Structure 1
Amino acid sequence: MSNTTVAKRYAEALFEIAQTKGTADVLEAELTTVKEVFITNAELLAFLQHPKVAAEKKKELLTSAFTGFSKDVLHTLFMLVDRHNEKIVPEVADHFITFNNKVKGIEEAAVYSARELTQEEQQALQGVFTRKLNVSALKINNIVDPSILGGIRIRIGNTVYDGSIKGKLNRLERQITAVN
């Protein structure tokens, strides 16, 4: 079974617990912090994956590192340690956030542009795509990519809307080569 599938199952189970208890937003905030710690602290992951360190020591570290976090998040982390799946913690967090956003009618968009978008441009994109996708809100993550030359490329879920100059040039090239 792939890591993505495993991470999605953990996230789904945790999300169902959060829905039952009404704590989904709290757990989302906690998981965002956990994800950030796992991504920025390579030593933590190395310690958690070390085969000679006892599981109890690993759990003690997690308990002290995430003091004040909900028992549900800590229990999930403990289960991942017990099953040697520590490396998928950031992916579990991502899937949990996706589940929570779906329930709230929120989509996330990665917007690639040649320069940083202004607040007005981001709001205009949000207005257009919230209507187009029939969602209540759109979270925009603006990624500066000078290779697209101009325009924007938007990725929402598995769908890409390419209005970049590079994309238009690539489509024109394919049309020209298809004619020959």
Structure 2
Amino acid sequence: MSLNRTTVAKRYARALFELLSEKDQLETGYTELQELRRVFQDNPQLGTVLSDASLQATDRQKLVSQLAESASPYIQNLIQMVYDYGRMDTMVAIIDQFQVLYDELHHTVYAKVTTAVDLSADQKDKIAAAYAQRVGAQKVILDSQVDPTIIGGVVVQSAGMILDGSLKTKINKLRRQLLS
């Protein structure tokens, strides 16, 4: 029975997360995984190349060794094990799942903020602080975008929740009330 990509990624991530936590290596492991993710994102075909037989096994092993050479022993083991099981194309998914566990531990939330105009750094900080307090997070990382059609106000989206304080929505609500 073949496991799907998400299940595989969750299992590897959970095992690595627990190991690094136990060995008090979580922060350094997290940093290394972020660097490894960048390598795979900068070279989108790398996972596929390392997972299929289009490249000689010795050449694939050389690439894997280069990936692992500056990593800590635990990350080296992860890289080698994922390679040995032919799952290098799931490496970014594994790191993404590790990120989810890390963020849960550190109470970090990601949110998309939409406004009619660009926000200053101070405004972003205030929105992040208010949203963190509202959802019980220690840290909120904002992805800010501008949409002039909302007229004014702020729309915050995170983890399936939408807080819509836009003027466009308020005007539409008022319109519906007047028409009923």
Range of TM-score over shorter length: 0.7 to 0.9
**Alignment of structure 1 residues 33-112 onto 2, 5 Å:** 33-55=35-57, 57-112=59-114
Correspondence for 2:140 among 138, 141, 145:
138
RMSD: 3.1
Does the Cα contact within 8 Å between 1:58 and 1:81 map onto a contact in 2?
A: no
Identity in percent:
26
Give the Å deviation of 1:118.
1.9
Structure 2 unaligned regions, length at least 5? none
Higher mean C-alpha deviation, range 155-164 or range 66-75: 155-164
Q: In structure 1, give the amino acid aligned to 2:130.
A: V
Higher mean C-alpha deviation, range 75-84 or range 148-157: 148-157
CA offsets 1:140-159 (integer angstroms, 9 cap, x no match): 23345667665444332233
Q: In structure 1, give the amino acid aligned to 2:26.
A: A
Does the Cα contact within 8 Å between 1:62 and 1:74 map onto a contact in 2?
A: no
Q: Return the index of the structure with the highest Cα Rg.
A: 2
Distance 1:90 1:66 in 2: 15
Aligned residue for 2:86, secondary structure, equals coil
What is residue 3 of structure 1 aligned with on the other side?
Answer: 5
Correspondence for 1:27 among 26, 29, 52:
29
Aligned residue for 1:94, secondary structure, equals helix
What is residue 18 of structure 2 aligned with on the other side?
Answer: 16
Give the Å deviation of 1:52.
4.0
Distance 2:23 2:58 in 1: 28
Give the Å deviation of 1:38.
0.8
Aligned length: 178
Higher mean C-alpha deviation, range 17-26 or range 73-82: 73-82
Aligned residue for 2:36, secondary structure, equals helix
What is residue 127 of structure 1 aligned with on the other side?
Answer: 129
Give the Å deviation of 1:53.
3.2
Does the Cα contact within 8 Å between 1:4 and 1:91 map onto a contact in 2?
A: yes
Give the Å deviation of 1:125.
1.2
Distance 1:4 1:72 in 2: 21
Higher mean C-alpha deviation, range 91-100 or range 158-167: 158-167
Aligned residue for 1:42, secondary structure, equals coil
Q: In structure 1, give the amino acid aligned to 2:19.
A: I
Q: In structure 2, give the amino acid aligned to 1:13.
A: A
TM-score, length basis structure 1: 0.78
Higher mean C-alpha deviation, range 71-80 or range 149-158: 149-158
